[in-house]
Amino acid sequence: MDRTELAAFLRSRRERIGPADVGLPAGPRRRTPGLRREEVAQLAYISTEYYTRLEQARGPRPSREVLTGLARALRLTDAERDHLHLLAGAPVEPPPGPPREVRQSILDLVDRLPGSAAFVTSATLEVLAWNELAAALMEDFSALPRRDRNLARRAFLGPRPGGRRLYGVSDADAFARHAARRLRTAAARYPDDPEVTGLIRELLDGSEEFARLWASRDVAVAPTLRKTFQHPLVGAVTVNCDALDLTDRDQQVVIYTAVPGSRSEEALRLLSVIGTQRMDAPR
């Protein structure tokens, strides 16, 4: 525990927050910037005396519960929260399983890409968020139970309507290798998570291909930069593939875009109009 740096960090974070930021009245006699010590203590549900000792580098090592309260009271970012824990000698424990909550800014980004099919996957390739064009190009994820939104399960265990594997993508075999690599990384990162271990066990029992890829222990696969979907309504759709890593959440944003002026771009435009409705369904 670095008491001196912890005290300075708490003081610097306290001084940058105004009373109005946390719903407190400013009052007429506020001589210093930011919150008062007693206000931080109140918001963190600890005694003023205890908080004062922390800021004076005289306090004992705070518990994780106290650190959580301070992080909440001081409106710390994720990076600041982690730094607070490190200074207190209590590093943030890794989550027991892959994070599933997607940041609002990422949700907004995905929705603001109307000309691209975009979605977010977890460390185990569960589709966590998607825009309308991704649903039209691949499938309506909102109509599926959570377990069926996992692309690794879909790749190795189906279903395969019309004999099409994984939405008829041209790189299905390469994606399978990528999925096995992602799951091996997830297994090492979250060894005690029952969902991770259960998914791997299910794939080992149900897919000889996955069992073979798993036994190879490969951890590096070349990324696919372009792929073609065989869509049942608009035919072949060739897209460029980009994946943005969200390292703080162990997630990826996947974006599919077509070459401007190409037939595939026209197909995506048509899909954006069709959406997830089935024009070939009987009426």
Percent of the chain's residues with pLDDT above 70: 91
Would residue 98 be called left, alpha or beta, if left means φ above 0 and alpha means ψ between -120 and 50 degrees?
beta
Per-residue pLDDT reduced to its tens digit, 180-235: 999 999 999 899 899 999 999 999 999 999 999 999 887 766 777 899 999 999 99
Listed residue (275, 266, 246) closest to 121, CA to CA: 246
Q: Give every strand in the sheet of 235-246, ordered side by side.
A: 127-130, 117-121, 251-257, 235-246, 226-231
Q: Which helix (H) or strand (E) holds 223?
A: none
Per-residue pLDDT reduced to its tens digit, 93-124: 777 889 998 988 999 999 999 899 999 999 99
Contact 122, 128 (CB under 8 A): yes
pTM score above 0.85:
no
The CA-atom distances, in angstroms, between 78 and each of 81, 124, 128 are 5, 22, 20
Per-residue pLDDT reduced to its tens digit, 51-71: 899 988 888 888 888 888 898
Per-residue pLDDT reduced to its tens digit, 128-161: 999 999 999 999 999 999 999 999 999 999 888 7
Q: What is the pLDDT of residue 277?
A: 61
Contact 110, 129 (CB under 8 A): yes
Residues 154 and 147: their CA atoms lie apart, in Å, by 10
